[in-house]
Amino acid sequence: MVAAASAAGAQGPTPAVSWYPARPTQGSLIRLAVTWPEISGLDGTLAGERLHFERDSTGAFHAVGAVPVDADSSVTGNLWTDGGPDSARIAVPIAARRSRSESLRLGREYTEPPDSALAARIAAERREIGQAFARAHDGPRLWSLWFSPPRRAPITSDFGTRRVLNGATRSRHLGLDYDGNVGEPVRATNRGVVLLVGDFFYNGKCVYISHGAGLMTAYLHMSAVQVSVGDTVVRGQAIGAVGATGRVTGPHLHWSVHYGGITVDPMSLLSLRPLPSFDAEAPDDPRIW
Ligand SMILES: [Zn+2]
């Protein structure tokens, strides 16, 4: 998909913006490419999250962006030139996500309204996680290879599945569940820095890794954690073990992917091509650990 963006205040040539996939699905990552002659740098946002553009050898700018799972028929963004007066708006058309529905039975402590002490704990944990998501924008991209799955195991629940909890409460499953027995290894899906290690009410023992430039992955419900905040991890490194901690019906790994505050389908990360400046060192993937 190539679109001439509507440019405002343009003094020089106007930008050509393209993205892949051409019509991204609700709750997925996309790749953006912008050709804008005569500019020296580019900044922007998509769906309210900062974009981190990198320039390739031809002068084109590339970035990863995210489409929220509840996005309407399109998401909009803004681009502006580094130090210049030019700016442009983009609108990316979105395809609806088809999602299955599944019923789950959970212990009462996870479905009854929490008492005030528990509500305070849950709120504090949400804040801590939200602060970690925001910090994913702080540093540059730390990865150069394709992302690799955190486990070699069957997927037992897809992203976006609608959930009926104990016949009533509805929620949406915003991650990918991998089958596993307690103690089996969980591996970092790419290079990054551990931003948060928690033992939370809903998420159980969990690790949040920032891959830089907005991207973050999280690994939930583990029985053990083998990394600490501040550690640099590499793709395939064991960071913990499958468990059944937090709100679960049994042992498994819940893996989630976030771009800033937007949670997306991990499958869209596994198929995300590394940015072009690294293509030379990341040929079509071995995807080995
Ligand atoms: Zn899950």
Rounded to 5 degrees, what angle do the CA atoms 213, 253, 226 make?
A: 70
Q: Are 147 and 267 in contact (CB under 8 A)?
A: no
Q: Is 44 in a helix, a strand, or coil?
A: strand
Distance 86 CA to ligand 1 centre (A): 43
Q: What's the 284 CA to ligand 1 centre distance in angstroms?
A: 29
Find out whether 264 and 29 touch, Cβ atoms under 8 Å. yes
Query: 């016949």: which residue's tokens?
Result: 167
CB atoms within 10 A of CB 115: 9
Q: Cα(233)–Cα(227) distance, rounded to whole angstroms?
A: 8
Q: How far apart are CA 20 and CA 63, in angstroms?
A: 11
CA dihedral 30, 76, 260, 281 (to 10 degrees): 30
206 CA → ligand 1 middle, Å: 12
The Å distance, Cα 200 to ligand 1 centre, comes to 15
What separation in Å is there between the alpha carbon of 254 and the centre of ligand 1? 4
C-alpha 247 – ligand 1 centre gap (Å): 9
- The CA 258 to ligand 1 mean position distance, Å, reads 14
In this structure, the number of other CB atoms found within 10 A of the CB of residue 38 comes to 11
Compute the distance from residue 173 Cα to the ligand 1 centre, in Å: 6
Residue extent(s) of CATH 2.60.40.1590 domains in the chain:
2-93
Task: Kindly tell me the sign of the dihedral angle through the C-alpha atoms of 243, 247, 157, 68.
Answer: negative
Q: Where in the chain is the domain with CATH 2.70.70.10?
A: 101-281
Spacing, Cα 242 to ligand 1 middle (Å): 12
Contact status, residue 80 vs residue 91, Cβ threshold 8 Å: no
**CA–centroid distance, residue 265 to ligand 1 (Å):** 12
Q: Tens of pLDDT along the chain (289 residues)? A: 455 455 554 456 789 999 999 999 999 999 999 999 888 899 999 999 999 999 988 899 999 999 999 999 999 999 999 877 789 999 999 999 988 888 877 777 777 778 899 999 999 999 999 999 889 899 999 998 899 999 999 999 999 998 887 776 678 899 999 999 999 999 999 999 999 999 999 999 999 999 999 999 999 999 999 999 999 999 999 999 999 999 898 999 999 999 999 999 999 999 987 776 544 444 444 444 3
Q: Edge-to-edge, what's the strand order for the sheet holding 6-8?
A: 6-8, 87-93, 74-81, 42-46, 49-51
Q: What is the largest CA-CA distance in the chain?
A: 63
CB 52 within 8 A of CB 184: no
Task: Give the Cβ contact number of residue 284 at 10 Å.
Answer: 8
Return the CATH number of 101-281, one of 3.30.70.360, 2.70.70.10, 1.10.20.60, 2.40.110.10.
2.70.70.10
- The Å distance, Cα 286 to ligand 1 centre, comes to 27
Model pTM greater than 0.85? yes
User: 2-93 has which CATH code?
Assistant: 2.60.40.1590
Q: How far apart are CA 55 and CA 41, in angstroms?
A: 8
Q: How far is the CA of 219 from the centre of ligand 1 (A)?
A: 10
